[in-house]
Amino acid sequence: MTSLTQILSLARAGNPARAWALFHSSGWDVREDDPKALTLKGRLLKDQAKASEGTERARLYGLAAEAYAAAVEPGRDSYPLINAAALALLGGKPERSGALAKETLALIDGDPDQGENAYWRAATRAEALLLLGEEAAARAALADGIAKLPYAWEDHAATLGQFELILAEQGSDAAWLDRHRPPPSLYFSGIIGLDAADPAIREEVDAIIRRERPGFGFGALAAGADILIAEALHRAGAELHITLPYPVDRFRELSVTPYGERWGPRFDALLEAAIRVEVLTELPDEAERSLAIAVELADLVAMGQCVRNAGVLRSRPKALTITGQGDQPRRQHQVWSDTGHDQYAIPVSRVAGHHSIAEASGTEIRELAAIFWVDNLDPDALSLLPDNARDFRPAGDAHYRIMTDLAELQSTGRRLLQHDGNSRLGFVIDIMDTQAPAASLLEQAADLSRAASGEAILTDFKSAMALTMQSVGQTIEEIGELQTASGPLPLWSIA
């Protein structure tokens, strides 16, 4: 029997059909006396409704509403009750919605402990008022809740998403929600060889940050542009999320210390201030990566984190880079440009003697690529792929391909998922010799495929973030941790 927690994880990972099938096969659908099962039933039906259209959509929203309403009775909980009220409206039953919204308000008024915290109590009140057509009171209640917990960004984003659905159903303008959106996320990068004493550079960075008001910064901490922008973000109160292409001491040795004594203390202070520091270490049998390609991978990971964070918070991703005048854009910056997300560039004169990363890196035979590993590959499924995408190599009972085109990786994975439900798919994006990848990378890709269920592709954190930059119409979610010979590996699902 599959647990409710496991089924919820599948739903969050973008597999609502699989989650619904397991919910039924495990007998949870007949548990009319279990509030947790009924709440999950409402969630799964709501997911199905969002993916449907017309009368079927309204029907599923109605069923979801009644599942949530049934979950209320044993404990009189405002969470399923307000969900039932909102979904009744979306299901075409405004009178039922109004009645449930009034019940919600009465429940909150009679029990000051309702809701997970002060924000959720106020947000639930605001939603009930909105469902009753009292928009002015709803606006005030939502503003009050956000003031009580101003940094509960994910909670705010969830409320905004629900309010958007309600306002669309009511035919009302949702523009007023924009003032409550969490702040943008900013990917930052740039050159080392700049004149750090030039006040015009700092003033321009500060001006962009004041104007755009990012709440989160994602990037590295090399001497020069990285540190200048990170310091500006920190002064403005933004959270710093740092991704380094090497372990901290090695990164300091390569990208901080050689450029003057003033940079070391600033680097250390920003590391201390960071909310999160990700280090992209090599596996034991890998040689150290050259600087240019190591930075490219770290940039793609930081970009993916930025885009993902903005998506979760229903805000906007932006990018800021300081470039050398006349420099060609780095390949990873072109990836950002292709997404259409906002980006700002500050061109500056390079300090004499400082070269671009590519010029300083020397020769590197390895490149950024993906190992796409498939267990139980159906030969018939290969016929669905373009001719140039069928060259899988055998590896015991499994098969794998090495791809340098991440868009091709996405396309191949989607086709195999849709047409071959028995295959188990895993992939790793890393820096490798595409003709002879490190054995540890092959083994990691194999471990991921063996852990897959056939309903989604499994990968690791850095690969999921790199693919986020090019993912269209796919759900990318963290689902746990996989124990491997190289240690625990964060496990991500792509469906």
* 158 and 227 housed in the same domain: no
pLDDT tops 70 at residue 74: no
Which of 145, 164, 180 terminates a domain? The answer is: 180
What's the chain's average pLDDT?
89
Which of 341, 361, 381 terminates a domain? The answer is: 361
- Model confidence pLDDT, tens digit, residues 40-70: 999 999 988 988 889 999 999 999 999 998 8
CA angle 136, 138, 142 (to 5 degrees): 120
Q: Which of 49-53, 90-94, 282-286 has the lowest mean pLDDT?
A: 282-286
473: Cβ–Cβ under 8 A, 6 or more apart, which residues? none
* 306 and 382 housed in the same domain: no
* 26 and 174 housed in the same domain: yes
262: Cβ–Cβ under 8 A, 6 or more apart, which residues? 196
* 355 and 443 housed in the same domain: no
* 447 and 328 housed in the same domain: no
* 163 and 263 housed in the same domain: no
Q: How far apart are CA 42 and CA 60, in angstroms?
A: 9
Owning domain of residue 153? 4-180
pLDDT tops 90 at residue 281: no
- What pLDDT is attached to residue 14? 65
Which of 147, 180, 213 terminates a domain? The answer is: 180
- Model confidence pLDDT, tens digit, residues 374-398: 998 877 777 777 777 778 888 988 9
* 305 and 167 housed in the same domain: no
* 220 and 272 housed in the same domain: yes
* 328 and 399 housed in the same domain: no
Domain count, the chain: 3
Q: How far apart are CA 120 and CA 146, in angstroms?
A: 9
